Amino acid sequence: MPETETLTGPQAVEGSNGLLLEVDGQIVPNYDATIVPFSEGDVVSGKVVRIDKDEVLVDIGYKSEGVIPANELSIRKSANPHEEVELGEDVDALVLTKEDQDGRLLLSKKRARFEKAWRRIEAAAESGEPVEGTVIEVVKGGLIVDLGVRGFLPASLVDIRRVQNLDDFLGQSIESKVIELNRSRNNVVLSRRAVLEEERKEVRQQILDRLQPGQIVEGAISNIVDFGAFVDLDGIDGLIHISELSWSHVNHPSEILSIGQVVPVKVLDIDRDRQRISLGLKQTQEDPWQRVLDTYQLGDQLEGRVTKVVSFGAFVEVLDGVEGLVHISELAPHHVENPREVVSQGDVIRVKILEIDSERRRLSLSAKRVEDQVLPVSGSGATGAERGEAGDAGGDGDAGGDGEIGEVRDLELSDEVFTGAEETAPEAGAAESQPADGAESQTEPADGAEPQPDSEEAQDGGAAEAGAGADAADGTGDEGHPEPASADAAD
- Stronger pLDDT, 409 or 195, i.e. the higher one: 195
Q: What is the pTM of this model?
A: 0.42
Q: What is the pLDDT of residues 361-384, one digit of tens each?
A: 788 899 888 887 777 654 433 333
Q: Domains in the chain, ordered, with CATH?
A: 1-33 (no CATH), 43-109 (2.40.50.140), 128-195 (2.40.50.140), 211-284 (2.40.50.140), 289-474 (2.40.50.140)
Contacts of 210 (CB under 8 A, 6+ apart): none
Q: What is the mean pLDDT of residues 396-405?
A: 41
Q: pLDDT-derived band of residue 231, with 50, 70 and 90 as boundaries?
A: very high
Q: What is the pLDDT of residues 187-224, one digit of tens each?
A: 899 999 999 888 877 778 788 888 889 889 999 998 89
pLDDT surpasses 90 at 241: yes
Q: What is the pLDDT of residues 443-472, one digit of tens each?
A: 344 443 344 444 333 334 333 333 333 343
Q: What is the pLDDT of residues 129-141, one digit of tens each?
A: 999 999 999 998 8
CB 413 within 8 A of CB 464: yes
Residue 188: its pLDDT value, please?
92
- Stronger pLDDT, 98 or 13, i.e. the higher one: 98
